[in-house]
Amino acid sequence: MLRRIQKHLRFIVVTAAMASLLIPSIASVAGQTKQKDKTPQKPPSDEGQIVLNAKYVTLDVNVLDHNNTPVLNLNQDQFQVFEDKILQKIEHVSLEEVPVSVGLVIDTSGSMRRKLPQVIDASINLVKQSKPLDEYFVVEFKDPSAIDLVEDFTTNLDDVIDALKDMIASGGTALFDALSVSSEHAHKGGKNRRKALVVITDGVEKDSFYKKDEVLEKLREADVQLYMVGFTNDLGTDKSIFRSSEKQQAEKLMKEIAEDTGGKAFFPTDLSAMKGISDEIAKDLRNQYVVTYYPANSKFDGSFRRVQVRVNDNRSLVAKTRTGYYAKETGAQDPIKP
Tens digit of each residue's pLDDT (9 = 90 or more) over 274-283: 999 999 999 8
Q: Do residues 200 and 111 share a domain?
A: yes
Q: Do residues 140 and 183 share a domain?
A: yes
Is 180 within a domain?
yes
Q: Do residues 71 and 209 share a domain?
A: no
Pick from 263, 286, 309: which residue ends a domain?
286
pLDDT at 227 over 60: yes
Q: Which domain holds residue 113?
A: 2-15+99-286
pLDDT (0 to 100) of residue 117: 92
Q: pLDDT tens across 132-158, in order?
A: 899 999 999 987 678 999 999 999 999
Top-confidence residue, 306 or 50:
306
Q: pLDDT tens across 316-337, in order?
A: 899 999 999 988 865 433 444 4
Displacement of CA 32 from its chain's centroid (Å): 22
Q: pLDDT tens across 160-199, in order?
A: 999 999 999 887 788 999 999 999 999 999 999 999 999 9
pLDDT at 6 over 50: no
Pairing of strands 56-64, 318-320: antiparallel
Q: Do residues 90 and 143 share a domain?
A: no
pLDDT (0 to 100) of residue 60: 94
Q: How far is CA 6 from CA 127, 160, 323, in A?
A: 22, 14, 39
CATH number at residue 72: 2.60.40
Q: Which span out of 49-53, 110-114, 115-119 was modeled with the highest average pLDDT?
A: 115-119
Q: Which residues contact 203 (CB under 8 A, 6 or more apart)?
A: 107, 109, 111, 173, 175, 235, 250
Strand partners, 266: 229
Q: Do residues 157 and 223 share a domain?
A: yes
pLDDT at 74 over 60: yes
Q: Do residues 298 and 231 share a domain?
A: no
Is 328 within a domain?
yes
Do residues 184 and 103 make contact, with C-beta atoms less than 8 angstroms apart?
A: no
Is 132 within a domain?
yes
Q: Which span out of 15-24, 160-169, 242-251 was modeled with the highest average pLDDT?
A: 160-169
Is 45 within a domain?
no
Is 21 within a domain?
no
Q: Do residues 179 and 257 share a domain?
A: yes
Q: Do residues 264 and 328 share a domain?
A: no
Domain count, the chain: 2
Do residues 155 and 140 make contact, with C-beta atoms less than 8 angstroms apart?
A: no
Q: Do residues 84 and 136 share a domain?
A: no
pLDDT at 128 over 50: yes
pLDDT (0 to 100) of residue 79: 97
pLDDT at 248 over 50: yes
Is 299 within a domain?
yes
Q: Identify the CA nearest to 95 among candidates 251, 311, 328.
A: 311
Least confident of 39-48, 87-96, 296-305: 39-48
pLDDT (0 to 100) of residue 257: 93
pLDDT (0 to 100) of residue 330: 58
> Looking at residues 30-34, what average pLDDT do you find?
35
Pairing of strands 318-320, 304-311: unpaired
Is 169 within a domain?
yes
Do residues 138 and 106 make contact, with C-beta atoms less than 8 angstroms apart?
A: yes
Q: Do residues 125 and 236 share a domain?
A: yes
Q: Do residues 107 and 69 share a domain?
A: no
Q: What is the DSSP string of 89-143?
A: -EEEEEE----EEEEEEEE-SGGGTTTHHHHHHHHHHHHTT--TT-EEEEEEE-S
Is 43 within a domain?
no
Do residues 90 and 81 make contact, with C-beta atoms less than 8 angstroms apart?
A: yes
CATH number at residue 195: 3.40.50.410
pLDDT (0 to 100) of residue 45: 39
Q: Do residues 106 and 65 share a domain?
A: no
Going by pLDDT thresholds of 50, 70 and 90, the confidence category of residue 234 is confident
Q: pLDDT tens across 76-92, in order?
A: 999 999 999 999 999 99
